[in-house]
Structure 1
Amino acid sequence: MHIYYDSKTGNVDRFINKVIQITGWKATRIQEDTVPTEVGHLVTYTINFGKVPEKTLAFTEKYNHLIHSVSSSGNRNWGRNFAVAADKLAENFDLPVGLKFELSGTLVDINEFIDIIKNQYYDSKRRSEKLDIA
């Protein structure tokens, strides 16, 4: 399993590091020159009360055909804009939303993410209603 991720403040970094510790999955932090080598899942964050980070957007525009789901960190103080980057990427690129979590996520969030990717992804295709549980 491969996870591509973007992090600004370290919240997504911490989330991904916990996922890796539990699962042993591979993860690649998105850089401007990142070229994915295999299919995977995308985890990002939401900025400016509801925007997708530019680096994440550019990566998704180029490589959305290799992305099987998108998840996002956010802050519940933003109300309806909480982790909305996942919703925007899902809508624009026909991707299922895996999970929306607050800041660096709780252990419950991490285990839910692992369960979604591990169990629900394998018996569904992109744009699966089963995967869209966020």
Structure 2
Amino acid sequence: MLIAYYSLTGNTRRFVARLVPPADRLEISAHKRATEPFVLVTPTYNFGNVPATVERFIDNNAGYMVGVIGAGNRNWGDNFAKAGRIIAQQYDVPLLGMIELAGTEEDVKTITERMRELE
């Protein structure tokens, strides 16, 4: 399954690299278009916000989004991976997981299993 992701610091990019092969990755920008169903991996910025680039990408591609994974830092408390929760609720897609920074091997295993259930 295609994984569309946004990464400024490289954490979500490193996580996605452990999740799927290169052919199944799409590093997003505001103007990229998806042509098949995808799971979105998004960081959370500014203490709980969806990055603006991710918002613009979703505006152009929401019809293909089948799930979301939120990323963040547990130091943010209730705002940890909040962008994923916001998107899941707003677009009525499943939240497949919340990862800290680049995720753990257990995160990779769990999310891979959840993605298989979507296929």
Asked if the contact 1:19–1:25 (Cα under 8 Å) also holds between the matched residues in 2, the reply is: no
TM-score (norm 1): 0.84
Displacement of 1:10: 0.3
Paired residues, number = 119
2:59, 2:33 → 1: CA distance?
Answer: 12
- Post-superposition, which runs of at least 4 consecutive aligned residues in structure 1 deviate over 4 A? none
Unaligned runs of 5+ in 2: none
Q: What is the aligned partner in structure 2 of residue 125 from structure 1?
A: none
Q: What is the aligned partner in structure 1 of residue 9 from structure 2?
A: 9
Matches within 5 A, 1:53-132: 53-118=51-116, 120-122=117-119
Q: Per-residue displacement from partner, 1:65-108 (whole Å, max 9, x unpaired)?
A: 10000111110011111000011111111111111010000111
Structure 1 or 2: more helix by fraction = 2
Q: Per-residue displacement from partner, 1:11-39 (whole Å, max 9, x unpaired)?
A: 00000011125xx7601000232111211
Identity of matched residues, %: 34
User: Helix, strand or coil: the match of 2:20?
Assistant: helix
Q: What is the aligned partner in structure 2 of residue 32 from structure 1?
A: 30
Displacement of 1:121: 1.7
Asked if the contact 2:31–2:56 (Cα under 8 Å) also holds between the matched residues in 1, the reply is: no
Asked if the contact 2:31–2:57 (Cα under 8 Å) also holds between the matched residues in 1, the reply is: no
1:6, 1:38 → 2: CA distance?
Answer: 17
Asked if the contact 1:3–1:25 (Cα under 8 Å) also holds between the matched residues in 2, the reply is: no
Asked if the contact 2:35–2:64 (Cα under 8 Å) also holds between the matched residues in 1, the reply is: no
Unaligned runs of 5+ in 1: 123-134
Asked if the contact 1:72–1:83 (Cα under 8 Å) also holds between the matched residues in 2, the reply is: yes
Asked if the contact 1:42–1:70 (Cα under 8 Å) also holds between the matched residues in 2, the reply is: yes
